[in-house]
Amino acid sequence: MSEEKLDSLLHLGTIIKPPEEFVRNANVKNYEEEYKKFLDNPEEFWAKVADELFWYEKWDKVLEWNLPYAKWFVNGKTNITVNALDRHVKNGRKNKVAFFWEDEFGNEKVVTYGSLYTLVNKLANALKNAGIKKGDRVVIYMPLVVEQVAAMLACARIGAVHSVVYAGFSVPALRHRIEDAQAKMVITADMTIRRGRAIPLKQIVDEAVRGLDNVEKVVVLRRLKPKVDLIGEKEIDFYEFIKDADTYCEPEVMDSEDPLFMLYTSGSTGKPKGVIHTTGGYMVGTYYSMKTVFDLKEDDIYWCTADPGWITGHSYIVYGPLVAGATQVLAEGAPNYPDFGRWWSLIEKYGVTIFYTAPTAIRMFMRAGEHWPEKYDLSSLRLLGSVGEPINPEAWMWYFRVIGKERCPIVDTWWQTETGAVMITTIDGLPMKPGRAGKPVPGVVADVVDKEGNPVEPNKGGFLVVRNPWPSMMRTIHKNKEKYESYWNTIPGCYFAGDVATKDEDGYIMILGRADDVINVSGHRIGTMEVESALVSHPSVAEAAVIGKPDPVKGERIKAFVILKEGESPSEELVNSLKKHVRTELGALAVPSEIEFVDKLPKTRSGKIMRRVLKAKELGMDPGDLSTLED
């Protein structure tokens, strides 16, 4: 057994108590008590949380549950931006900082709740003036700037449904999302900054919207000097667009179940699916977790390193923290540019108290060495978070020791685009077990079960499920009811998360990975079929199969097996051409790290590629049942 693996197993048995002082001051001090409150009366539990927020009209009923369809805070009327902005501006937080923003060059911006409020209101009015109405879809394809957050909120203000596309996706991926959502508008920027370079975005949008009649306008935030040209009648400068708009926009009165946003995520099919979240429940769920999982208090400086292009950014940069009135750090660019000290220098500079990041980043910093964080004063930190993929015990211990100085609890938060908010972690005084995410947060009944839904024995592998509806759950999949229903009928009566997990004697859940054909690269979900479709659209490729392989930093990396067309022969050049092709089709995230040319792929008799056989062979493991293999 390798030393690393041994170390991992040793740490798996470790139990670390959260610091007493932390527990004494926590918003909720006792997990068991809080969980019991929920179990005793789930509806009362959630009504109490919802009552802390503003509603034009209160709900008639907390929950209407017709499996698999849920309605939360039935007939309640609200607008999430009133809770995220107006409520604070009117209650003494007008000059409170909402965002300390900076880019890689040290350009800074301090945005108060008051100024964010004005920006959002003006943009909301501009959207209205441009004919955007409640229910219309707006695609946002922007860098990590305050205007991106404002664009999301402006849509929410008028009831338009935003679909944010991460600015690392390429033309066809963006085009698919714009077309599938039938977006009327795209809001973008000229460029994003990465490693000291400007990476153009607008050209990508220009190509992606070409010939799409549904797109009436493209709003462009122009940051470069001289300013990039705007082309045709559709394109307009961001600040020109809002220049004459009124500074107050009456919020649209939204029904609790009106859609708030859609967000595409990868699954086991060739095309990503548009997950739909609605207003009231999502607002209540993300707000509650901000206060409990992240223990947010008035004076905290909170930093989530995600991008709003992913669900983590939606729930824990935009909606959760702003509804809870947080002050946040927002940093554009790479974590290790100009050097591996960047993030730690920002924690020191802003006095960050709550820090939320991904295991892949932690492992990268682990490799770079402790001397980087040691150069900076990290004593402001009081709570650390992790999300996106399993955090191995070594990385957990390093994070705890080197960054948190053994003072800060770590919340390893398991959740998904579909769940909207954190579902499993260790909160409110629960002892921590490195490598195990923990227990279901109050409001969630989670379990590890077999195919029929029966709980498996402690420490045996099974499927991770949720047994009850929760406020921030997705409500459907855009134009795909069957897909939505499949989450709730794969294992009868339970929400099937698509992950495999174990549960120990104390009820701590450890996530082992995906149960389906989804690869998790650096915490980002990539569908094997999406990469395979991209590969077979290359003129030299006849067939392709893609698997995930363990990677010490990224968690998993992509390996592709490719059958070439007649007359084509393997070469280094072809490998590069295939990688480039995937980058153009999908984006840099989806590029395979390894490509192997083969003559044959293992298939079932009905012609389906058996990826698990490829994976087992690759990793030297037992391939399991081969009875359906073609030959």
Amino acid at 185: M
What amino acid occupies position 200? P
Mark the segment that binds ligand PRX (CB under 6 A) among 65-73, 183-191, 381-389, 467-475.
381-389
Mind giving me the DSSP string for 57-71? B--SEEEEEETTEEE
Site for ligand PRX in 258-297 (CB under 6 A): 265
Residue 296, SS3 per DSSP:
coil
Q: State the Cα–Cα distance between residues 308 and 164, nearest whole angstrom.
A: 7
Does the protein bind ligand PRX through residue 399 (CB under 6 A)? no
Smallest distance, Å, CB 519 to ligand PRX?
10
254 binds ligand PRX (CB under 6 A): no
CB of 425 to ligand PRX, least distance (A): 8
Interacting residue with ligand PRX among 446, 474, 497, 521 (CB under 6 A): 497
Any idea which residue has 């999300």 for tokens?
387
CB of 115 to ligand PRX, least distance (A): 29
Report whether 454 contacts 28 (CB < 8 A).
no
Longest dimension (CA), the chain: 72
* Closer CB to ligand PRX, 189 or 408, in the complex: 408
Interface with ligand PRX, residue 499, by CB under 6 A: yes
Tell me the pairing of strands 555-564 and 541-551: antiparallel
Chain position carrying tokens 């992240």: 294
- Fill in the amino acid letter for 21: E
With CB under 6 A as the contact rule, the residue among 73, 340, 415, 495 that binds ligand PRX is 415
- Give the CA distances from residue 417 to residues 157, 355, 524, in Å, rounded to whole numbers and listed in that order: 22, 20, 11
**What is the distance between the alpha carbons of residues 124 and 160, in angstroms, rounded to a whole number?**
10
- Size of interface with ligand PRX, in residues (CB under 6 A): 21
Q: What tokens were used for 229?
A: 């040209």
Task: Check residue 390 for interaction with ligand PRX (CB under 6 A).
Answer: yes
Q: What minimum distance in Å lies between the beta carbon of 90 and ligand PRX?
A: 32
Report how far residue 519's alpha carbon sits from residue 535's, in angstroms, rounded to the nearest whole number: 16
Q: Residues 272, 285, 373, 388: which binds ligand PRX (CB under 6 A)?
A: 388
Which of 75, 336, 345, 416 is close enough to bind ligand PRX by CB under 6 A? 416
Per CB under 6 A, 38 contacts ligand PRX: no
Residue type, 219: V
Site string for ligand PRX, 419-438 (x = CB under 6 A): ------------------x-
In the shown chain, the binding pattern of residues 305 to 334 toward ligand PRX, with x for contact by CB under 6 A and - for none, equals: ------xx----------------------
Q: Which two tokens stand for residue 46?
A: 């959630």
H helix runs in 501-607, sequence order: 528-536, 572-585
Regarding 611 and contact with ligand PRX (CB under 6 A), the answer is no
Which range of residues in 18-26, 211-219, 220-228, 388-396 is near ligand PRX by CB under 6 A?
388-396
What does the binding site for ligand PRX look like in residue numbers (CB under 6 A)? 265, 311-312, 387-390, 412-417, 437, 497-499, 511, 514, 520, 525
